[in-house]
Chain A
Amino acid sequence: MQRQWSDTSRAYAMNAPAMAAILLLVAYPIGYSFWVSLHRDNLAQPALRRFIGLDNYLGLLSDPAFLTSLGVSALFVLLVVGVTVVLGLALALVLNETFLGRGVLRSLVLLPWAMPGVVNGLMWRTVFDAKTGALNGVLLQLGLIDSYQAFLASTTGAFVFTAMAQVWNTLPFAVILLLAGLTTIPNELYDAATVDRAGLLQRFREVTLPWLLHPLLIVLILETMNAFRAFDTIYVLTGGGPGDATATVALLTVQRVLTYTDVGLGSAYAWVITLITLVVSIAYVGLLYRRGSFEV
C-alpha cells in the first residue's frame, strides 16, 4: 500500500475532528477567561474595568476568605478522595469474588452514578433533614440517638455529611475502574502466591497492588479533579455553611462570578483551581510513574 502521508500528518488528520470540537469550542472561552482574570472587571462597574496584570492573583495571597476556602477545599478533597478510594477498593475486591448475587451488586454499584449532582444534593438533603429525615429516623429506631439531630447545622457535621454525600455520588466511577483493573490480573499469579503459602495480606501486597497502580492513578487524578470542582451537591446541601464550614473554592468561585458579577477576580479563582488540579495530577503521575506503571 502506498504511503502518501507520513504518520504525523495522518495522525493529525485523524485528530482534526476531535481537535476542532474541543479546541474551537473550548479554547476561546479558556483563553478569554484567562485574559479576563488579568483585569479588574465587575459587570456592575463597567467604567472601572482595566488591565491589572497579576494583581488579582497576588491579592489572593492576602484574602482571608479565599485562603480559608483553600483549606476547606483541601480537607474536602482529602476526605472525599480518601474515602472513595478506600471504599472503592474494598467494594471492587468484594465484587471480584464470586458469590450469590454478585451480578445484582455489580448493577447496583452503578446506581449513584446515574444521579445528577443536583438530584443527589436534594436527595441527601431530605435524608439528613433535621425534622423529618430518614437518617434521623433510622438512628432513632436503632437506639443510637435520643432525639432528632440537626446534622448539617454544626460545622463538623455539615462538612463530614456533605463529603459523604459527595462520596456516594462519585463512588461508582472508582469502583468500575478498580474492578476492571482487578479482573485483568491473571489467575496464575494468585495460584503461584498460594503455592508459596502467601497470606491474604501478602497476596494483596505483592500480586494485586502492582496491577492496581495504573487504574489507581486514573482514579486518583479524575476523582481529585472532580472533588475540587464539586459544586452542585454542596450548594444544595449547605450553600457553603454553616458560616464557611463548607465554603470550598469552587463555591466561592461560582458565588463571585455569578452572584457578585465580579468576573475578573472570579476567573482568577477558577484559574487557581486549574493550577492546583494540574500540579496535583503531575504529582500523582510522578509518584506512580516511578513504579513504572504509567505510560502515555
Chain B
Amino acid sequence: MTRHQITRRTLLSAAAAVPLLAACGRGGGSSDGTVRFEGWDYESQLVQQNLDGFMAKNPDVKVAYTPITSAQYVRKVVAEFTGKNGPDALYVYDDSLATWVESGYLQPLDGLPGVDEVYNGIYAANAQAMTYKDKRYGLPYYTDSTGLIYNAAILERAGIKAPPKSLDELEAQSITIRAAGLIQYPIAFAAQLQDTWASWLWALMYGSGGSMFADDLTPTLAGADPVPLAVYEWIHKAATVSKIIDPASLQLTPVPLDNAMMAGQYAFNLGSRYALRVYNDPAKSKAAGAMKLAQVPSLDGAVHGTVANTRMYGLAAETQVKDKAMVLLNFLGGHTDGQPQTARFWFLQRGLGFTFKDMAKDKEITDALAKWVDPATYAALADVAKARNIVQAPWYAEFEAALQKTSQQILTDQITPQATTTTLADTATTLKKKYS
C-alpha cells in the first residue's frame, strides 16, 4: 500500500477543491481490472483460502478481498459508498438490502448469467429475502433459521424426556429444572441493545405464526394479529412472575451467551442452527454431545414456524468490472460444475446453513449434519422458516431499535405487554409517515 506525501500542490488543490467536493466523485472499483470484494470478517482466512482457489482456476479475474469488522460493517460500507469508494462485490445482510438498494449502492442481477438457476433451486424464504420490489439483488451466501436449543443432559437430570412444544411447557420445564436445584435461571436471551436483529424475539413471534406486519407493511401488532400480544404476555410472565429468564440477559451479547451455553449455565436458548456445531464440539464445549435442536415453542404447541435470515453477495451499482465481478459472484453464491461449491464449502467447514434445497438430500451433507444435529429437525426448521417482510421498509432499522428497547423494558417490568404492542404499533405508524 503506497503512502502519499502531502505536496504543496496537493494541499493547494485540496483547498481549491473544497467547494467542489460535494459534486466530485470517482466511480467504484479500480482501473486495473481487479475486483474489490468486501465482507464482514467472519473466518476471513477461510474466505481468502476459497478466493485463492477461485483465482487459480480463473486467472483472468483478480480479487482483492478486504475483511471489515462485523460490528462496523454496515457503517463502513455506507461511508465507502457515500464517498464513492465502494467495493465491486460485497456481502449484504438481508436487513440492509432495502436501504442499500434505495441508496443506490447495488444493482439488480436479473438477466445476468447463472442467476435464474440459483433462484430456481433455493428455498422460497431466501429468494424472498434477496428480492426487493420484484428485482433480484443477491446470490446466497448462507442462511439460517432460529430454533430452540436445549441442553438434553440438564433436562434429563430434571426428569424431562422431551423438549417443550409450547411456551407453557417451556415455562413448566424451566420451573422443574429450577426446583431440581440445577439452574436458577434456565433461559437466557442475547438482549443487549445491538445493531443486529434480536433474533430470539422474532423467532418467538414467527414461531407462533405471527409476523407483526402485513405484507403491505402496516403493523398488525396491536389488534389484527393476536400473536404478538400473547407472546409479550408470556415473556413478561416468564421474566417477572416465574422468573425463569435470566435478568443478566440485558447484558448478554451473542458470544458470551454461546460461552455460557457451552459451559452448561443455561438449559434453553433460541439460537441459529449452526451454533450447535460449536456447542457439540468437544474441543470447545463442556456440554458437547448434549446440545440438541427443536422447533421453536409456540403458543398452542401445534403450530410450528420460525424466522430465517439470509446473507447474500451483492453487486455494486457503479462497478467498472461488472462481468468479472459476476464471475466471482457466481463462484461464491451460485453453481460451479453444476454444484453450489462455495455453499458446500461453508457448510462442511463451519456448518453454515445452505439455501439450496437439493443439498438437504445430499448424503455427504446429511452425514456431516448427523455429527452435531438431528438432520430431520434441521430440515424441518428450514421448511417452516419465513423471511421477515418488515426488512423491506426504509424505516426498519429504527423500528428494530424500538423493538429491542421495549423488549428490555418488558424484561425488567417497566412496561406492560399491552403498552408494548400499542407503543410499537404507534412507532411503526409514525415512522411510516416520517419516511414518506
Contacts and interface: CB of A to CB of B under 8 A. Distances in A.
The reply to whether A and B meet directly (CB within 8 Å) is yes
B247 interface: yes
Contacts of A130: 246-248, 251
A239 interface: yes
A82 interface: no
B250 interface: yes
Contacts of A101: none
Instruction: Please classify how large the interface on chain B is, using the bins under 10, 10 to 19, 20 to 34, 35 or more.
Output: 35 or more
B414 A259 contact: no
Contacts of B56: none
A239 B252 CA distance: 11
B102 to A, nearest CB: 5
Contacts of B409: 242-243
A189 interface: no
A238 B75 contact: no
A153 B193 contact: no
Interface in B317-337: none
Interface in A229-253: 238-244
A259 B396 CA distance: 11
A45 interface: yes
A143 interface: no
Instruction: Please classify how large the interface on chain A is, using the bins under 10, 10 to 19, 20 to 34, 35 or more.
Output: 20 to 34
A258 B394 contact: no
B85 interface: no
B251 A244 contact: no
Given A28-B21, A131-B248, A150-B250, A259 B195 contact: yes
B75 to A, nearest CB: 5
A255 interface: yes
A154 interface: yes
24 contacts: A24-B14, A24-B15, A28-B18, A32-B22, A42-B435, A43-B78, A43-B103, A44-B98, A44-B103, A130-B246, A130-B248, A153-B250, A153-B412, A155-B414, A241-B192, A241-B193, A241-B404, A243-B405, A243-B406, A243-B408, A243-B409, A244-B405, A259-B74, A259-B195
Given A24-B14, A43-B78, A240-B193, 17 more contacts: A28-B18, A44-B98, A44-B100, A45-B394, A46-B102, A131-B248, A150-B248, A150-B251, A152-B251, A153-B412, A238-B251, A239-B194, A241-B193, A242-B412, A255-B401, A258-B75, A259-B75
